[in-house]
Amino acid sequence: MTDSVATPVTSPLPRPARAVAGARSGAAWAALQSPAPERARAFYAKVLGLRFEPGGGPGGLWRGLDAHGSQVLVVGRAYTGTGPGVWSPCLTVPDVRGAAEQVRALCGTVAVGPLPLEGGRGVLAADRQGLGLTLWEPGPGARITEAVRYRLHTHDPADALAFHTRVLGAKAHPAPPDATLLLRGTRPLLSVSPLRTGAKRPRPRWQPDFLAGDLDRAVAAALAGGATLLVEDAPAARAGRASLRAPDGTVFGLVRG
């Protein structure tokens, strides 16, 4: 599966910490399959201040850790030619076996698992629009990063919401102007937004938003590393967020936090 989106993202992910007092994220790490993983590691090390270490696994995965040792990003090689990379999220669930059963019941795909994963148990799955995701049941003492939020951009938000609310055990809350935020209790999991279509019909895709303590420094590092600030999001950088296209063609966000 490749990410062939060529249009900018303009709908912001709502800031959960403001919408829900004291909220912690239900999202865990982000996963990137990149056609140039070495360059991707160097890029995100500078932009996000991560330290990468070998993570093993098929294809030679690398784990990006923050200053506290929490896993924020996993980078692997995409074997899809020279196209853009592909993002997929890791989302926490209280019962990974039950979540896998829901995926199958809702016509999604469970490719691998449940199996031991990062101090818990996880499955590699895809929703019924073909978007990959990891579902993870953290074990006792497992580290959960607070540094990532996720947006799902799709032509069929209603279908995505029907699938993900049941799999994740979440409730949907409107987030104007056009997004819907999925919460489990007070924990934000992801937001769902309609894709804006132009001359080309872009594919559904995930976009991570990474929290950045110094947004201006992170944006400057991204631009110096070859990223492009999406024109329609340029004013948003002054409002505490920015969307950028990385050198491997993937779109990601930076949010002051």
CB burial of 217-245 (b: ≥16 within 10 Å; e: otherwise) equals ebbebbeebebebbeebeebbeeebbbbb
Ordered by where they begin, the domains of the chain are 22-256 (3.10.180.10)
pLDDT for 6 equals 31
Task: Check: CB of residue 104 under 8 Å from CB of residue 92.
Answer: no
CA 113 to chain centre: 20
**What pTM, to 2 d.p., does this model score?**
0.81
Task: Give the C-alpha separation, 16 to 218, whole Å.
Answer: 21
pLDDT for 186 equals 83
Mark the ranges of the chain whose per-residue pLDDT is less than 70.
Answer: 1-25, 56-59, 80-83, 197-201, 231-239
pLDDT for 70 equals 86
pLDDT for 59 equals 59
